[in-house]
Amino acid sequence: MTEQTLRELLEAVRGGRQTVEQAVGRLRSLPFEDLGFAKIDHHRSIRCGFPEAVYCAGKTLQQAAEIFERCATQGVNVLATRASAEVFEAIASRHAAAVYHEAARAVTLRQRDKVPSNGTVAIVSAGTSDMPVAEEARITAEIMDQTTATFYDVGVAGIHRLLAHSSAIQAASVVVVVAGMEGALASVVGGLVDCPVIAVPTSVGYGASFGGIAALLAMLNSCAAGVTVVNIDNGFGAGFSAALINRRRNKRE
């Protein structure tokens, strides 16, 4: 339940459109709902600005679909990450409006009208192989009502590709940089922009990249002061953080 939904419920009680008993029934599952195999945090959106996301990896099809459905009953936008096509089919059997984003391995259900942000979240990826993580960041930011712009396959091995888009990237309010291999792209972008840069190391690379650890360490050791780093392949975390930063800009404006 969002803060807006809670306010609407209280106004309905005050206006006599709902009884106290009906309101209590809706509030009974707050602040969390216990399904036995999961405890769903329905107050997450009130505290943190967006409902609890459903991380599907490691869950059965039934568990993922049931958690998704219980989140959807609150009338909020719902996001499921690391979702297979089979998970989507299980969700779609209950929610025909759900959308599967194959590249991002994510499922979204939009139940609230989109209010576009003023600022833009730029999503920059080094190579095509980094796109699944970059797309996870994009889908996360967009379901949180943020305007995004993507700049893919602009890694430092052909830096002219990045510089061709420098003006557009510099116009963003926050930049998410996704890169594997040696992870150098984050430092380069950090030296071009005057906004926060959220770096996402990916597990893309040959043996000495150690499944993304090389890129992670390179990003953590960046000489660009405005770069912060999330975990390996954590596009969701980067997109979420970028959305929160951009929201703050909207509030100031």
Q: What is the pLDDT of residues 108-135, one digit of tens each?
A: 999 888 888 889 999 999 999 999 999 9
Closest to 130 (Cα-Cα) out of 199, 219, 221:
199
Residue 165 sits at the vertex; the CA angle it makes with 163 and 171, to the nearest 5 degrees, is: 115
CB atoms near residue 36 (< 10 Å): 7
Q: Give the pTM.
A: 0.85
Q: In what order do the strands lie in the sheet with 120-125?
A: 147-151, 120-125, 174-179, 197-201, 227-229
Distance CA(135)–CA(150), nearest Å, equals: 9
DSSP-based three-state secondary structure for 168: helix
Which residue ranges of the chain lie beneath pLDDT 70? Answer: 1-4, 25-30, 250-253
Where are the chain's structural domains?
3-103, 120-252
Q: What is the pLDDT of residue 128?
A: 95
CATH level 3 topology of 120-252: Rossmann fold (3.40.50)
Q: What is the pLDDT of residue 240?
A: 96
Residue 144 sits at the vertex; the CA angle it makes with 71 and 156, to the nearest 5 degrees, is: 130
Reported as a single tens digit per residue, the pLDDT across 137-156 is 999 999 999 999 999 999 99
Q: What is the pLDDT of residue 7?
A: 77
Q: What is the pLDDT of residue 69?
A: 92
Q: What is the pLDDT of residue 221?
A: 95
Q: What is the pLDDT of residue 75?
A: 84
Closest to 176 (Cα-Cα) out of 132, 126, 137:
137
Q: What is the pLDDT of residue 1?
A: 55
CA distances from 187 to 41, 175, 215 (A): 37, 12, 11
Which residues have a Cβ under 8 Å from the Cβ of 101 and sit 6 or more positions away?
107, 108, 135, 139
Q: What is the DSSP letter of 106?
A: E
Residues in the chain: 253
98 and 144 Cβ atoms separated by less than 8 Å: no
Peptide bond into 31 cis (omega under 30): yes
Q: What is the pLDDT of residue 28?
A: 60
Q: What is the pLDDT of residue 99?
A: 96
